[in-house]
A and B are shown apart, each in its own frame.
Chain A
Amino acid sequence: MVVGLLATPIMIQNGQSLVNLVAAQQALLVERLSCLLAPLHPVLRADVTRALQGEGKLLYQAPASAESSQPPPLAGMWALATFLIAHYVAPDIDPIFAGNVAIAVECFVCATDLLDDVTDGDQTTTLLALGPARALNVSTALLVLAHQAILSTPQQGIDPRLILRLLDTFEEAALAAVSGQHRDILSEQQSIRACTREECLDIAAAKAGSIMRLTFRLGGICAGADDALCQQLSESGEMLGIAHQLDNDAHDLYHLLQAHNNSALSTESVKSDLERGKKTLPIVLAARDDQTLQRFSELTDEEKKEHLQAFQEAIMTTWGICLLYRERVRERFQALEARKPVTLALRMLLGLA
C-alpha cells in the first residue's frame, strides 16, 4: 500500500473564484481590524501586525513568486467563516457588527496559534521574527483585542445581553481549547500504549474542534440564530475542526515518509513530534512501542523500512477518519440547505462545494 494524499483544489466553482467572491468581505474585515489595532502603541502594533501577516491570517499576502502545487492559503479564512455564517443566518445583518465578531475570532485564532508554536517549539516565520518572549506578549495582546472587538459592539446599538452571550461563548471555547492543549502536552509524558484512538480524537475535539466550533457558533449567535441552528452550526464546526486536525496529522506523517525517499523535504516538525512523544492519531495507530517512535531518526534503514508499513496504514486510517468527519459535516450542511440555500462562498470556503 502506497500512501498518497488527495489534493482537492476547489479554486473555481461554476466559473467563480473564491478569492473574488470574498474580496469585499476581506476588505471590510481588514478595515475593522485596522480600527481595533489603531490605539496600540506603535511597537506593539507592529508586532501584532506581523503575527496577523502569518500564513492564512487576515493580513497575509502570498509571495508573488510562490511555486507550489498547492494554492496559497486564503487570507483571513477563520474570520471569513464567521462572517459568512452570520450572513447566511441573517443576510441583512449589520456588516460592521458581524465584522467585529469575525475579527474577534481572527485575533483569538492568531493568539492560540502563537501559543501553540511557542509550546511546540515550531520554527514558524512569525516566531523566528519575534522570538518567544515577544510572541507570548503579542499572544496576550491578541486575546485582549479579541474581547475588545466584541465589547466595542455596543457603540453600534447592539443589545448588551447579546454581547454577554457572545463573550460567554467565547470564554467557554477558550477554556476548552486551553484544556485540550494541556492534555496534549501531558500526553507527551504518557506511554504510547496507554493512548487510544478515542483519546486522540477527544484531544483533537478539544483543541481544533473547540476553536472551529467557536468560529461557527459566534457567526450564528451574532446573527440571531435560534438554539437549534446554533447547535447545528456548533457541531458542524467541531467536526470540521477535528477533520482539519487529522488532515494536518496525516499530512505531517506523510511528509516524513516522503522524506524517507527524498532528503530534500523538510521533516523537522514531524521529527520534533516523534522525538517529543507527541500522540497524534497516526502516530498512536502506528505505535509498536515508545522507544521506536521517540528514536525513529536513530533507527537503521532496515528497521525504518519495517515500520513504514505500519505508518502508511495509520496515515490511511487517519485520512479515512478525516474524510468521515467531513462527510458528517456535509450531511449537516445538506440539512441546513433544506432550511435555506448556503452561499457558494461559504460552501467553497469550507471545502463543501
Chain B
Amino acid sequence: MEEQQLQDFVHRIAESEDLRKELAGNAALVVSREGFSPRLVNVVMRLVPHLAMEKPLGPSLGWWWGY
C-alpha cells in the first residue's frame, strides 16, 4: 500500500541523519531503490527538499484556492 510505504519512508528519513545526507546528495538513487510506483516517486521527489534539506517554504498549500 502506497500510504504505508510513504509513512515508513518519511519515518526512516526523520530518524536517520545518514539517510537525510544521502537523500540530499542523490535523491534519485535513494528513491529508485525503494521500489516505489511512478506516482509515489513523483510525490516523494516533491517532499525531498523538506525531508533532506530542511527547506522551509511558504506557509500555504493553496491548491484548491491557488488559482
Contact = CB atoms under 8 A, between A and B. Distances in A.
Interface of A: 1-11, 17-19, 56, 69-74, 77, 197, 201, 243-244, 247, 250-251, 254-255, 258, 285, 309, 312-313, 316-317, 319-324, 326-328, 331, 348-351
Nearest to A321: B3
A305 B46 CA distance: 26
A327 B54 contact: no
B61 interface: yes
A351 B65 CA distance: 8
Nearest to B38: A327
B59 A255 contact: yes
Contact of B63 (A4, A74, A285, A351): A351
A197 B7 contact: yes
Contacts of B65: 56, 70-74, 77
Interface of B: 2-3, 6-7, 10-11, 13-14, 20, 39-40, 42-44, 46-47, 50-51, 54-67
Contact of A324 (B6, B20, B54, B56): B6
A44 to B, nearest CB: 29
A319 B66 contact: no
Q: Top 10 A-B pairs ranked by shortest CB distance?
A: A4-B56, A7-B58, A4-B57, A351-B63, A18-B67, A327-B39, A2-B54, A70-B60, A73-B65, A323-B43
Given A77-B64, A327-B43, A1 B51 contact: yes
A5 B50 CA distance: 8
A331 B39 contact: yes
30 contacts: A1-B50, A2-B55, A3-B50, A4-B56, A5-B58, A5-B61, A6-B61, A7-B57, A7-B59, A10-B63, A11-B67, A70-B60, A70-B66, A71-B66, A73-B65, A74-B67, A77-B65, A201-B3, A255-B59, A316-B14, A316-B50, A320-B43, A320-B44, A321-B6, A322-B61, A324-B43, A327-B40, A327-B42, A328-B39, A351-B64
Contacts of B2: 324
A7 B61 contact: yes
A199 to B, nearest CB: 13
A1 B14 contact: yes
A350 B46 CA distance: 19
A306 to B, nearest CB: 14
A4 B55 contact: yes
B3 A250 contact: no
Contact of B67 (A5, A6, A348): A348
B63 to A, nearest CB: 4
A247 B6 CA distance: 16
A6 B59 CA distance: 7
Contacts of A317: 6-7, 10-11
A69 to B, nearest CB: 6
